[in-house]
Structure 1
């Protein structure tokens, strides 16, 4: 892969991975409410699920999704519903003790599955396959370069957001700060769901 293409890939990966979205919002909220260690299951799940999504798109599933409007809308509907459900659960937690396993718990498999209903993940996977992998004679070699880069960015961005959430944890435990923080995070999830409706 030429250096100019690799540099463009790094720029796209940085912009898409570190801007707020469902994954980074949940990483922050989980770590703020439950601590960094419980959030790490989700942080590790994001690159696993995203890698599976990218491989499926590279294998042609992405083209099927793009060509089938009903399938696209089905993915969006499930994703929107899940984000709104998470926002509802998150908005009611006002104390760290309420964010236990019953209240706010997005584990490894849920985190991996979330990638398949995350429109931002689909857009990124389709963009990368179309721009850096498909239609090139060395597509497998390109995929071998793209995959570790994207895994690194998916992990590091979510770990960064989770670390910020964990750093805020003790400060948020005072008064009603956690309630307002959780409501703000819930609003980000609702805004993401609204963006998914419009996209």
Structure 2
């Protein structure tokens, strides 16, 4: 892969991975509510799920989804519903003890499956497959370069947001700070769901 293309991939990966979205919002909220160790299952699930999505898009799933509007709408509806459900659960958690009692828990497999209903993940996977992988003679080699780069960015961005959430944990434990933090995170998820509905 030429250096210019690789540099463009790094710029896209940075912009898409580190801007707020469902994954980074949940990473932050999970770590703030339940601690960094509890959030790590989700942090690791994001790159695993996203890599599976990228590989399936490269194998033709992306073209099928683009060609079938009812399937696109089903993915979008599931994603919106799931984000709204997570936002509602998050907005109800007012104390660390409530969060520890599993009011807010997103496990590894939920994190993997979230990637398949996350419109931002689909947009990135389709863009990368169309721009950097398909239509090139060295497609397997390009995929071998793209996949680890995107794995590293997906893990790095979610770990960074989770670490920030963990740093805020003790400060949020005082008074009603956690409730307002959780409601703010829930609002971001709701706005993301509205963005998904409009896109």
TM-score range for the pair, normalised by the shorter chain length: over 0.9
Report the equivalent of 2:98: 98
Which residue pairs with 1:32 in the alignment?
32
Deviation sequence 1:129-152 (CA, Å, 0-9, x none): 000000000011000000000000
For 2:67 and 2:119, how far apart are their aligned partners in 1? 15
Residue correspondence of structure 1 range 166-181 to structure 2 within 5 A: 166-181=166-181
Task: For 1:102 and 1:177, locate their aligned partners in 2 and report how far apart those are by CA, in whole Å.
Answer: 19
1:62, CA displacement in angstroms? 0.2
Per-residue Cα deviation, 1:26-60 (whole angstroms, up to 9, x for no partner): 00000000000000000000000000000000000
How far apart, CA to CA, are the structure 2 residues paired with 1:187 and 1:68? 31
- 1:31-50 matches, within 5 Å, as 31-50=31-50
Q: Which residue of 2 aligns with 1:81?
A: 81
CA distance change for structure 1 residues 52 and 69 in 2, over 3 Å: closer, same or farther? Answer: same
Unaligned runs of 5+ in 2: none
Q: 1:107-186 maps to which residues of 2 (within 5 A)?
A: 107-186=107-186
The secondary structure found in structure 2 opposite 1:150 is: helix
Task: Rate the CA distance shift 1:41–1:11 in 2: closer, same or farther, 3 A.
Answer: same
Query: Is 2:54 aligned against 1:19?
Result: no
CA distance in 2, matches of 1:38, 1:152: 20
Q: What's the TM-score, normalizing by structure 2?
A: 0.99
How many angstroms does 1:102 deviate by? 2.8
Following superposition, which runs of at least 4 residues in structure 1 exceed 4 angstroms of deviation? none
TM-score of the pair, normalised by structure 1: 0.99
Deviation for aligned residue 1:101: 4.6
- The whole-number CA distance in structure 1 between the counterparts of 2:101 and 2:140 is 41
Number of equivalenced pairs = 199
Q: Deviations over 1:110-159 (max 9, x none)?
A: 00000000000000000000000000000110000000000000000000
RMSD: 0.5
